[in-house]
Amino acid sequence: MDKYEIIQDGENKGRIKALRSFGNVKEGDIGGFVDCENNLSHDDDCWVYDDAVVHGKANVYGNAVVYDNARVYGKAEVSDKANVYGNAIVHDDAIVYGSAKIYDDAMVYGKALVYDDAVVYDNARVCGKANVSDDAMVYGKALVYDDAIVYGSAKIYDDAMVCGSARIYGNALVYGKANVFGKANVSDDAIVHGNEYEEKKDIEKTECQMYADCTKADLIDIIKDLQAEPAEKQVNIRCLEGKMSELYAIAETLLDSIYESDLNDIQKLRTLLNLYTDLGQDLGFDADLLEHIACDVIDENCVDCED
């Protein structure tokens, strides 16, 4: 037996009306809006409440619920015990399932997947082919996109961005104005944020970039820190907002030079320092100072630093 009908006229036109009792729904209850019966399954306890809307080719099934002013549309799917509520939007080919929750003004779209006990809320966005799962949380104005994966008990929040093929997991925190992208792996109890990067536990050798406000002292410290273990150190690049396109290109060149070439350690170090010099000049730092720092750092290993 069908569990609901779509009201065809009157003030509730387009809303659903329960034809039988199930779950928390009682026979005769008036629910939210759907375009057609393909939007909401007649099986299990799924339901659309309040002023929520499910339309287009979207599908809600299992024991999933959509309520408040939430919208699910496009070819999106919400299933299992997932909840979408508040002013949240799930659209395109996005899929939300398990016991995941999407609420407040959060949006999940593109071909993104949010599942297990993951939570996306506030003004956060999960899109592209990104996956958020396990007990992970994305909130604030955070953005997770491309092929990024966030799982475990990781948290992404504030104005942080995670993209590319980045992996954030364990108890890792990414927040402030941090940007993690490329093939970065941030795990365990790692913290990536604004003007600071703190390695609390083991972090795999990664290609991790953190972008936030930069000072001359920051760049000097980064360059000097790379002297000890040039082939092992994690790559940290910090920059001013508005320089993203230039820095992506520089970072790609830098990473290729360090991780994929057959250069020896000294050559790798010199390549890295040269690229940091280019980076510093791009950000308006004094070119002579940067060149002097680069030469000082490798002076003991380099016969001619002016080549």
Confidence bin at 228 (pLDDT 50/70/90): very low
Residue 165, in any domain of the structure: no
Confidence of residue 1 (pLDDT cuts 50, 70, 90): confident
Q: Is the pLDDT of residue 208 over 80?
A: no
276 domain residue, yes or no: yes
Which of 62-66, 100-104, 158-162 is predicted least confidently? 158-162
Classify residue 264: in a domain, yes or no: yes
Q: What is the pLDDT of residue 247?
A: 40
For residue 272, being part of any structural domain is answered with: yes
Q: Which residue has the higher pLDDT, 270 or 85?
A: 85
In tens, the pLDDT along 285-299 reads 445 544 554 454 444
One-letter amino acid identity for 29? D
pLDDT of residue 302: 39
Residue 113 has pLDDT above 90, yes or no: yes
pTM higher than 0.85? no
Residue 260, in any domain of the structure: yes
Confidence at residue 241, expressed as pLDDT on a 0 to 100 scale:
31
For residue 21, being part of any structural domain is answered with: no
Does a structural domain hold residue 234? Answer: yes
Cα distances (angstroms) measured from residue 265 to each of 226, 271, 277:
11, 10, 18
91-105 confidence digits (pLDDT tens): 999 999 999 999 999
**Residues in contact with 41: Cβ distance below 8 Å, sequence separation at least 6, in sequence order:** 59, 60, 61, 62
Beta-sheet strand order (sheet of 15-18): 4-6, 15-18, 30-34, 53-54, 71-72, 89-90, 107-108, 125-126, 143-144, 161-162, 179-180
Residue 235: domain span: 216-301
pLDDT at 91: 94
Query: How many domains would you assign to the chain?
Result: 1
Decide if pLDDT at 83 tops 50: yes
Output the pLDDT for position 259: 45
Tens of pLDDT along 259-276?
Answer: 444 444 445 445 555 555
